[in-house]
């Protein structure tokens, strides 16, 4: 099943039930170091703290204007082996290339290096946090127009246009409870 940008826009306009992501939680090994790193890179405010009898096990930083939080949890306090090293679980969209470059400049001033590139979803700048987790700032984002599969093998990527994963018991959107199409 191929989904076009036009049908995604029409569905969003008709439903308006979801406005965006409120919070992303990232497992870390050193809470204070990571909280300072995210605060400094993204100019966030320290707004929440989570404790147990052993001390502080998590915190959250916010950008109230953009309406999102980044929560950090100590890996040692998570239910499983939480390790996102080498992944980029957080991709934020900058208003434009100038805004993204201001973030890069702020990072450089604090000794945080970056890489950059362009892919199907837009141009990006990537920063790697103290735990090896990649954070991307995308600008010039076009958003998904159609399905895009990515196959990784031996330091290269190839693309494909038809899903391989068969979703079990997929219900057509027009018959899902609560959706108005």
28-75 pLDDT, tens digit each: 999 999 999 999 999 999 999 998 888 898 999 999 898 888 989 888
The domain that contains 18 carries what CATH number?
3.10.180.10
Residue 180, pLDDT score = 38
Could you tell me if residue 181 is inside a domain?
no
Token code pair at residue 84: 């996102």
**pLDDT < 70: residue spans in the chain:** 1-20, 86-87, 120, 142-145, 169-181
Residue 65, domain extent: 5-175
Burial of 45 (0-12, 13-18, 19+ CB in 10 A): exposed
CB 33 within 8 A of CB 98: no
Token code pair at residue 14: 């008709």
Token code pair at residue 90: 């957080």
How many structural domains is the chain composed of? 1
Residue 42, pLDDT score = 92
Residue 67, pLDDT score = 84
Could you tell me if residue 180 is inside a domain?
no
Could you tell me if residue 88 is inside a domain?
yes
**Which residues are CB-contacts of 149 (< 8 A; sequence separation ≥ 6)?**
159, 160, 161, 162, 163, 164
Could you tell me if residue 132 is inside a domain?
yes
Residue 14, pLDDT score = 57
Could you tell me if residue 17 is inside a domain?
yes
pTM of the entire structure? Answer: 0.66
Residue 179, pLDDT score = 40
């Amino acid at each position: 099943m191929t989904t076009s940008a036009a049908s995604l826009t029409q569905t969003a306009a008709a439903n308006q039930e979801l406005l965006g992501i409120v919070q992303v939680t990232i497992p870390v090994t050193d809470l204070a170091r990571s909280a300072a790193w995210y605060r400094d890179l993204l100019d966030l405010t320290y707004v929440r703290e989570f404790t147990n009898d052993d001390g502080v096990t998590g915190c959250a930083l916010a950008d109230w204007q953009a309406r999102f939080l980044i929560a950090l949890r100590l890996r040692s306090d998570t239910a499983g082996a939480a390790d996102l090293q080498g992944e980029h679980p957080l991709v934020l969209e900058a208003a434009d290339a100038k805004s993204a470059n201001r973030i890069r400049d702020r990072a450089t001033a604090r000794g945080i290096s970056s890489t950059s590139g362009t892919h199907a979803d837009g141009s990006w700048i990537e920063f790697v946090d103290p735990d090896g987790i990649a954070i991307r700032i995308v600008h010039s984002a076009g958003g998904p127009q159609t399905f895009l599969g990515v196959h990784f093998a031996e330091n290269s990527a190839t693309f494909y246009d038809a899903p391989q994963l068969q979703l079990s018991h997929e219900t057509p959107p027009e018959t899902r409870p609560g959706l108005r199409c």
